[in-house]
Amino acid sequence: MPKPDILVTKPMLPIVEQQLDAEFTVHRLYDAEDEQTMLAEVGGRIRGVALSWWQVNEAFLKQLPNAEIVASFGVGYDHVDTDACLAANVMVTHTPDVLSEEVADTAIGLLLMTVRELGQAERWLRDGNWAENGAYPLTQATMQGRTLGIFGLGRIGKSIARRAESFGLKVAYHGRSRQDGVDYRFHASLVALAAACDTLMVVAPGTPETRHAVNAEVLKALGPTGIVINIGRGSVIDETALTEALEKGTIYGAGLDVFEEEPCRPERLMKLPRVTLLPHVGSASQATRNAMGQLVVDNLKSWFSTGRPLTAVPELKQK
């Protein structure tokens, strides 16, 4: 039997590309001299898409009239219009679970770095200040006695909560609804959660509903000892409001692994003393990225061999 034709939008890990070449007839959009010309030539043959950081919308799907599945690399899939895929009868998969522990580790590491200013302390040493100007100033914040409010208590949020408990932090949460079997205190609004904690951990996905959910009102409720950590999606925080809150002292500090526009160099944030910034490295270990890539391959193989995906996105699980 002929191998199914699939489209790869961006370069993927060697472990992925090698297996895709073995299982499918692969068309690499990133190798095309002109993307639209290539899509016009092969779009009608494409039955699956191995997706990495590419916008999938109605217009894109119209160029792939026989597509059956979009296998996306990553747990977040805000770059995929699931309504358009549902209307076009296209399955969408993502890569949950395999990255939860890695991202949770990064979240706690980012929290520690932000509270104790570890990145700034390292620069103090590297720049020669320890020898020339003495010890790094005492940090005004501490992990001791903090209350962690988690916005988005999904797989990753729960993994973060377990780690936070081992540090002695109290944990509360806000989400679309109260979760059964969870002992952490639930707050019905994000403002209420912010008012009840001094550390806001953002793990919510990037959706139209969560866009700028962390706004000036939420930051004011968090208060002058408050710290914001974002390991979810940059769009969830109103970055302008966050910057202004930090500049004015409305909150104490922030640690960000994600931003509204990526890649970026957030100049105003970089000038602030109690801000820690990472270049979206939450799941960026070789082992975890290999596992995510393998799940992309396995979703495609399962679909074309059994007609069922392994990890459909929630909106299409019943499809």
Residues acting as catalytic residues = 233, 262, 280
Cα-flanking dihedrals φ and ψ of residue 109, to 5°?
Answer: -60, -40
Q: In degrees to the nearest 10, what's the CA dihedral of 126, 132, 138, 140?
A: -70
Q: How far is CA 13 from CA 16, 52, 281, in A?
A: 5, 10, 16
The per-residue DSSP string of 10-71 comes to: S---HHHHHHHHHHSEEEEGGG-SSHHHHHHHHGGGEEEEEESS--B-HHHHHT-TT--EEE
Cα-flanking dihedrals φ and ψ of residue 244, to 5°?
Answer: -65, -40
- 46: buried, middle or exposed (CB in 10 Å: 19+, 13-18, 0-12)? buried
